[in-house]
């Protein structure tokens, strides 16, 4: 019903098992007592920063300091504008979280429909996947027209960019039930609703969290890129504005904070996953 | 009987020991195994799981290096024999490469050896006929059943015309009926290629039906506990499975496990 | 053959109905906004489908040319990024040190909003062509590299032992085993990255460039309501570029690695 059409496998393919693998691998790396797995990348990172600070890259690529600011300058900009940056980070994060929640929820509903009525619901899945192929930058002006230049416009952009991943993954999870478990349900004379309630939704949880993890990154990107063009607040706004007025260090400090916020957001969702999936498997056992 | 045919043994293990060192403990997987396998002989390594029979096969294949003793294959060290491509190996699973058609899976070792393409293809067709899969050359592995896939794996092992065929429980994942049929087919293939075969199994009837001799291994630590000659005449037929002689051999081998 | 045809029809029919239905609802909503609700800027918010289609047709030459420029630039960056990403994956699979150095950063890069770097890179390079290529390449680099590495590692032990039993040289193990086995991973990376590369290229165009679909998108947005159909046309073209890039990768995948499990017909022999 869905695997075959190219657009539907848009997000799922590959990315789906990726975060899980990354997670275990990084966990393995960092849980151990400081071995080469930890200090080697750290050392490399520090070396990179030092070379940057000593203007090696500037000489290599013939760059001026106003083009590529030094790490120390970025740090200063970060320190001097910390309270402003922090409030903007909160604003952007709020857009991202709000949009992701709405987008993931609607994606889940689409998945429910597509699983319950494969023949006709499947079409909605393809449409959602197609929506995902619309470049965010093209969505921004439209959402601006519809929702003004407040938080709603970015939340809408994020909603549009996070729906597909959830719809496709959740649908996969709801369809990938053990046929024997399905037979068991039929032996109980369970109706469509019961099959969903007792089997499919439970079964989709790991997939749902995979989608949520994909969506954390996507939502931060959506929020920031959305702010580039029609906004008066937020990290993306400050970033593009700082670049326009050649305040490079401030622009870079926005990126630093966006990265930190993105990683934190991801780690929180990952933490939630651990809690929920444990509940899930304990319920099943 | 087998000793008479033996000039120089094809495979010779001398006081072989295999020890795994883990953080928790030292595991002695094989203890002082000494055995000779003659050229052209069909032998089985039989035992329960954990007796080290697969380890023994891997030592012959130079996929493992022993921690003590000597392994001689075709008059060379195990490593030299591997580098000289003296043996073909068949694993428990077919290990076919998904992206190669059946015929190209069979020619894989020949590509490694730099054999000309036309010769390779011809050889593949010939081998497919030998294992009863003519007409499947251009299929992909997934289009074949498990038993057919394992036959492709055997054809692949035979493609380099090895002196020795090492088989690690090749039919254990198949159902009883398929397994018995493949046993007979394997014997008919062997009667044509006449290589030395070392066959790992945990099935007593399978080892009896196939082999000239059965090496019985016991666990903890893995060691050779008995060598049983199988005097059943060749060619072997499925009817022999029901003979008194067959039953006697089964109980004799089963008896050699008792007290372990 | 006939069975396949029926399958195709049964799959395509609901989709066609959905698309038609959506377009009809769109057209109706557009009429409502314009004539019933009398919302300001009604046509900018939700233009008539037939007007947008007419504009698409009328200016198809320009749109194709500018879309082609975007696609070309994104394509160059995409190819460079994919090549570099695949190279890094091979290096990481060969050397533990390289992996330890690069892997944590590759993972972290998946968690941060990479597209946010676009203005910064544009600020550094100040050249639309080059920065479009850099952004597209950069966006492509990490997904391709991580997915390809996953593919290279997906080889199971017996398959390697088989190679070992043939006394295969290291290059042969790569050429005959690891690289073919990594193709599914490589292509899932490419399919993730391709639409992103297009988005990246359009983003750079919006920040000030001379050519590309993003440039006329921005221009028509500034011209206001009178150019709204043209603006929506550029959005349609942008979306099509994203989908086309994905479709192209899927097509190449089918040609290069037709043996993949997901391409097998269902209900056949196993």
Residue spans of the domains in chain B: they are: 97-161
Chain C residue with CA closest to A119: the answer is C14
Alpha-carbon gap: C169 to the closest alpha carbon of chain B (Å): 9
The verdict on residue A32 lying in a domain is: no
Whether the ω angle into residue C257 lies within 30 degrees of 0, i.e. cis, is no
The verdict on residue A56 lying in a domain is: no
Chain A residue with CA closest to C147: the answer is A14
- Which pLDDT does position A67 carry in this prediction? 78
Does C207 lie in the same domain as C141? yes
Chain C CB contacts of B98 under 8 Å are 181, 259-261
Eight-state DSSP code of residue A6: G
Query: Would you call C263 an interface residue with chain B, using a CB distance cutoff of 8 Å?
Result: no
Q: Average per-residue pLDDT in chain B?
A: 89
The structure's pTM equals: 0.80
Q: Which residues of chain A have pLDDT under 50?
A: 1-32, 281-285
Does B142 contact C159 at a Cβ distance shorter than 8 Å? no
Chain B CB contacts of C177 under 8 Å are 97
Alpha-carbon gap: C79 to the closest alpha carbon of chain B (Å): 24
Does C215 lie in the same domain as C160? yes
Reported as a single tens digit per residue, the pLDDT across B34-72 is 999 999 999 999 998 888 899 999 999 999 999 999 999
Does C116 contact A258 at a Cβ distance shorter than 8 Å? yes
A2 vs C240: CA distance, rounded Å: 20
Chain C residue with CA closest to A224: the answer is C116
Beta strands in chain A (DSSP E): none
pLDDT classification of B259: cutoffs 50, 70, 90: low
Q: Which residues of C171-200 are buried (b: 16+ CB within 10 A; e: fewer)?
A: eebbebbbbbbbbbbbbbbbbbbbbbbbbb
What backbone torsions phi and psi does residue B232 show, to the nearest 5 degrees? -60, 135
Reported as a single tens digit per residue, the pLDDT across A205-244 is 888 998 998 899 889 989 998 888 778 899 999 988 888 8
The verdict on residue A46 lying in a domain is: no
What six digits make up the tokens of A135?
Answer: 């470049």
- Which pLDDT does position A279 carry in this prediction? 57
Find the angle CA(C77)-CA(C111)-CA(A143) to the nearest 5 degrees: 75
Parallel, antiparallel or unpaired: strands B196-201 and B164-168? parallel
Which residue in the block uniquely carries the two structure tokens 């290069």?
Answer: C256
The verdict on residue C33 lying in a domain is: yes
CATH number at residue C91: 1.10.3720.10
Chain C CB contacts of A221 under 8 Å are 113-116
Eight-state DSSP code of residue B222: B
pLDDT classification of B112: cutoffs 50, 70, 90: confident
Residue A107's H or E segment, with its range, is helix A82-116
The verdict on residue C203 lying in a domain is: yes
Closest partner residue to C259 (CB to CB) among B87, B109, B140 is B140
Between positions 166 and 225 of A, the ones with CB within 8 A of C are 216-217, 220-221, 224-225
Checking C60-67 for CB contacts under 8 A at 24+ apart, the result is C62/C216, C63/C213, C63/C216, C63/C233, C63/C234, C63/C237, C66/C211, C66/C212, C66/C213, C66/C215, C66/C216, C66/C237, C67/C213, C67/C237, C67/C238, C67/C240, C67/C241
Q: Which chains touch A (3 or more CB pairs under 8 A)?
A: C
- Which pLDDT does position C18 carry in this prediction? 86
pLDDT classification of C138: cutoffs 50, 70, 90: confident
Counting Cα atoms < 13 Å in the Cβ hemisphere of C215 gives 17
Closest partner residue to A236 (CB to CB) among C22, C116, C206 is C116
- C-alpha distances out from residue A99 to A93, A106, A125, C24, C109, Å: 10, 11, 19, 27, 22
- What is the sign, positive or negative, of the torsion defined by CA atoms of A234, A240, A246, A252? positive
The verdict on residue A95 lying in a domain is: yes
Parallel, antiparallel or unpaired: strands B26-37 and B11-21? antiparallel
The residues near B97 (Cβ < 8 Å, ≥ 6 apart) are B105, B108, B141, C159, C176, C177, C180, C181
What six digits make up the tokens of A69?
Answer: 């600011």
The verdict on residue A181 lying in a domain is: yes
Alpha-carbon gap: C183 to the closest alpha carbon of chain B (Å): 10
Q: How many structural domains comprise chain A?
A: 1
Query: Would you call A263 an interface residue with chain C, using a CB distance cutoff of 8 Å?
Result: yes
Reported as a single tens digit per residue, the pLDDT across B85-102 is 899 999 999 999 989 999
pLDDT classification of C1: cutoffs 50, 70, 90: very low
Q: 3-state DSSP: chain C helix, strand, coil percent, rounded to 5?
A: 85, 0, 15
Eight-state DSSP code of residue B32: E
Counting Cα atoms < 13 Å in the Cβ hemisphere of C146 gives 27
In which domain, by residue range, is A142 found? Answer: 85-284
Does C225 lie in the same domain as C184? yes
pLDDT average, residue stretch C28-43: 85
Report chain B's terminal Cα–Cα distance, integer Å.
Answer: 28
Between positions 115 and 154 of B, the ones with CB within 8 A of C are 140, 142-145
What backbone torsions phi and psi does residue B11 show, to the nearest 5 degrees? -125, 130
CATH number at residue A185: 1.10.3720.10
- Which pLDDT does position B34 carry in this prediction? 93
Does C112 contact A127 at a Cβ distance shorter than 8 Å? no
Reported as a single tens digit per residue, the pLDDT across C173-208 is 999 999 999 999 899 899 888 988 998 888 888 877
Does C108 contact A29 at a Cβ distance shorter than 8 Å? no
Find the angle CA(C183)-CA(C188)-CA(C194) to the nearest 5 degrees: 115
Q: Are B56 and B33 in contact (CB under 8 A)?
A: yes
CA C132 distance to own-chain centroid: 15
- Which pLDDT does position B1 carry in this prediction? 42
Whether the ω angle into residue A31 lies within 30 degrees of 0, i.e. cis, is no
Query: Would you call C268 an interface residue with chain B, using a CB distance cutoff of 8 Å?
Result: yes
pLDDT classification of B2: cutoffs 50, 70, 90: very low
The verdict on residue A13 lying in a domain is: no
Closest partner residue to C166 (CB to CB) among B95, B97, B109 is B109
- Which pLDDT does position B116 carry in this prediction? 92
Closest partner residue to C100 (CB to CB) among A36, A216, A243 is A36
Between positions 174 and 193 of C, the ones with CB within 8 A of B are 176-177, 180-181, 183
- Which pLDDT does position C6 carry in this prediction? 56
The verdict on residue A252 lying in a domain is: yes
Beta strands in chain B (DSSP E): 11-21, 26-37, 42-46, 68-73, 76-77, 87-90, 164-168, 196-201, 213-218, 223-229
Whether complex ipTM tops 0.90: no
**Pick from A239, A242, A219, A97: which is nearest to C116 by CA?**
A239
Chain C CB contacts of B74 under 8 Å are none
**Pick from B160, B157, B128: which is nearest to B144 by CA?**
B128
- C-alpha distances out from residue A270 to A59, A216, A220, A264, C162, Å: 41, 10, 16, 10, 39
Q: Rg of the Cα trace of chain C?
A: 23
Q: How many structural domains comprise chain C?
A: 2
Does C220 lie in the same domain as C106? yes
Alpha-carbon gap: A14 to the closest alpha carbon of chain C (Å): 5
Torsion of CA B25, B29, B33, B37, to 10 degrees: -160
Chain A CB contacts of C242 under 8 Å are 133-135
- Which pLDDT does position A285 carry in this prediction? 35
What six digits make up the tokens of B245?
Answer: 């002689």
Does C220 lie in the same domain as C147? yes
Between positions 101 and 120 of A, the ones with CB within 8 A of C are 119-120
Reported as a single tens digit per residue, the pLDDT across C71-130 is 998 999 999 999 999 999 999 998 888 888 888 888 777 777 777 778 788 777 878 888
Does C167 contact B111 at a Cβ distance shorter than 8 Å? no
**B6 pLDDT higher than 50:** no
Closest partner residue to B61 (CB to CB) among C165, C180, C270 is C165
Closest partner residue to C11 (CB to CB) among A4, A251, A254 is A4
A152 vs C246: CA distance, rounded Å: 29
Torsion of CA B136, B140, B144, B146, to 10 degrees: 130
B125 vs A223: CA distance, rounded Å: 60
Does C239 contact A15 at a Cβ distance shorter than 8 Å? no
Q: Are A150 and A222 in contact (CB under 8 A)?
A: no
Counting Cα atoms < 13 Å in the Cβ hemisphere of C246 gives 25
Does B82 contact C159 at a Cβ distance shorter than 8 Å? no
pLDDT average, residue stretch C128-141: 87
Does C22 lie in the same domain as C83? no
pLDDT average, residue stretch B6-19: 86
Torsion of CA A218, A223, A225, A226, to 10 degrees: 130
The verdict on residue A61 lying in a domain is: no
Q: Are A219 and A97 in contact (CB under 8 A)?
A: yes
Chain C residue with CA closest to B93: the answer is C158
B195 vs B151: CA distance, rounded Å: 17
What six digits make up the tokens of A154?
Answer: 């970015």
The residues near B4 (Cβ < 8 Å, ≥ 6 apart) are none
- C-alpha distances out from residue A107 to A5, A127, A194, Å: 18, 11, 21
Highest mean predicted confidence (pLDDT) among A92-106, B15-29, B126-140: A92-106
Alpha-carbon gap: C263 to the closest alpha carbon of chain B (Å): 11
- Which pLDDT does position A21 carry in this prediction? 40
Between positions 120 and 139 of A, the ones with CB within 8 A of C are 120, 122-124, 126-127, 130, 132-138
Reported as a single tens digit per residue, the pLDDT across B188-202 is 989 988 899 999 999
Does C113 lie in the same domain as C4? no
**B113 pLDDT higher than 90:** no
In which domain, by residue range, is C207 found? Answer: 60-263
Does C123 lie in the same domain as C232? yes
Chain C CB contacts of B100 under 8 Å are 259
C231 vs A48: CA distance, rounded Å: 43
- Which pLDDT does position A63 carry in this prediction? 80
Q: Which chains touch B (3 or more CB pairs under 8 A)?
A: C
């Amino acid at each position: 019903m869905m695997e075959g059409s190219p657009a539907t496998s848009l997000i799922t393919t590959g990315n789906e098992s990726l975060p899980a693998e990354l997670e275990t691998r990084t966990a393995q790396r960092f849980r151990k007592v400081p071995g080469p797995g930890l200090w080697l990348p750290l050392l490399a990172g520090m070396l990179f920063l030092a070379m940057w600070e000593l203007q090696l890259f500037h000489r290599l690529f013939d760059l001026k300091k106003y083009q590529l600011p030094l790490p120390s300058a970025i740090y200063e900009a970060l320190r001097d504008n910390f309270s402003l940056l922090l409030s903007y980070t909160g604003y952007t994060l709020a857009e991202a979280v709000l949009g992701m929640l709405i987008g993931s929820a609607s994606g889940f509903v689409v998945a429910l429909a597509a699983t319950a009525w494969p023949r006709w619901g499947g079409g909605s899945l393809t449409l959602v996947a197609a929506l995902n192929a619309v470049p965010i930058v093209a969505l921004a002006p439209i959402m601006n027209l519809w929702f003004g230049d407040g938080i709603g416009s970015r939340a809408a952009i994020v909603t549009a960019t996070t729906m597909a991943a959830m719809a496709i993954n959740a649908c996969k999870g709801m369809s990938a039930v053990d046929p024997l478990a399905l037979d068991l349900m039929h032996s109980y004379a369970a109706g469509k609703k019961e099959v969903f309630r007792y089997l499919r939704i439970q079964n989709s949880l790991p997939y749902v969290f995979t989608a949520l993890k994909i969506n954390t990154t996507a939502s931060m990107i959506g929020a920031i890129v959305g702010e580039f063009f029609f906004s008066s607040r937020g990290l993306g706004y400050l970033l593009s504005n700082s670049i326009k007025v050649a305040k490079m260090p401030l622009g870079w400090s926005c990126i630093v904070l966006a990265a930190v916020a993105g990683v934190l957001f991801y780690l929180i969702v990952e933490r939630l996953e651990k809690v929920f999936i444990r509940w899930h498997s304990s319920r099943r056992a | 009987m087998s000793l008479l045919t033996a000039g120089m043994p094809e495979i010779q293990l001398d006081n072989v020991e295999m020890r795994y060192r883990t953080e928790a403990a030292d595991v002695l997987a094989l203890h002082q195994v000494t055995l000779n396998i003659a050229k052209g002989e069909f032998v089985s390594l039989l035992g329960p799981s954990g007796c080290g029979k697969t380890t023994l096969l891997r030592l012959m294949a130079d996929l493992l290096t022993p921690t003590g003793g000597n392994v001689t294959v075709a008059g060379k060290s195990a490593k030299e024999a591997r580098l000289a491509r003296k043996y073909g190996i068949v694993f428990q699973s077919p290990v076919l490469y998904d992206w190669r058609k059946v015929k190209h899976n069979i020619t894989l070792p020949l590509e490694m050896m730099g054999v000309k393409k036309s010769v390779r293809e011809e050889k593949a067709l010939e081998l497919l006929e030998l294992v009863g899969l003519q007409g499947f050359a251009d299929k992909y592995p997934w289009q074949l059943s498990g038993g057919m896939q394992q036959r492709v794996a055997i054809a692949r092992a035979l493609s380099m015309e090895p002196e020795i065929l090492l088989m690690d429980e090749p039919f254990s994942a198949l159902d009883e009926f398929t397994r018995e049929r493949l046993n007979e087919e394997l014997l008919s293939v062997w009667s044509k290629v006449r290589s030395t075969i070392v066959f790992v199994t945990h099935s007593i009837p399978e080892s009896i039906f196939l082999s000239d001799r059965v090496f019985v291994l016991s666990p903890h630590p893995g060691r050779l506990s008995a060598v049983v000659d199988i005097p059943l005449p060749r060619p072997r037929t499925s009817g022999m499975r029901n003979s008194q002689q067959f039953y006697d051999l089964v109980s004799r081998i089963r008896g050699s496990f008792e007290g372990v | 053959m006939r069975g396949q045809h029926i399958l195709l029809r049964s799959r395509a029919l609901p989709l066609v109905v959905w698309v038609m239905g959506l377009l009809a609802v769109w057209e109706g909503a557009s009429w409502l906004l314009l004539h019933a609700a009398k919302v300001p800027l009604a046509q900018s918010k939700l233009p008539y489908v037939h007007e947008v289609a007419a504009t698409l047709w009328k200016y198809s030459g320009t749109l194709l040319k500018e879309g082609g420029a975007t696609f070309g630039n994104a394509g160059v960056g995409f190819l460079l990024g994919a090549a570099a990403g695949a190279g890094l994956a091979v290096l990481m699979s060969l050397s533990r040190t390289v992996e330890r150095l690069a892997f944590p950063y590759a993972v972290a890069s998946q968690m941060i909003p990479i597209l946010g770097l676009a203005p910064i890179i544009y600020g550094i390079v100040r050249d639309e062509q080059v920065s479009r290529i850099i952004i597209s390449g950069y966006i492509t680099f990490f997904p391709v590299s991580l997915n390809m590495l996953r593919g290279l590692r997906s080889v199971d032990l017996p398959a390697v032992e088989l190679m070992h039993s043939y006394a295969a040289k290291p290059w042969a193990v790569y050429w005959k085993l690891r690289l073919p086995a990594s193709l599914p991973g490589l292509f899932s990376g490419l399919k993730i990255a391709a639409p992103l590369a297009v988005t990246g290229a359009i983003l750079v165009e919006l920040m000030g460039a001379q050519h590309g679909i993003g440039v006329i998108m921005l221009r028509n947005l500034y011209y206001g309501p009178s150019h709204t159909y043209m603006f929506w046309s550029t959005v349609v073209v942008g979306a099509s570029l994203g989908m086309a890039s994905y479709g192209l990768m899927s097509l190449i995948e089918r040609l290069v690695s037709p043996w993949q499990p997901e391409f097998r017909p269902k209900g056949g022999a196993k």
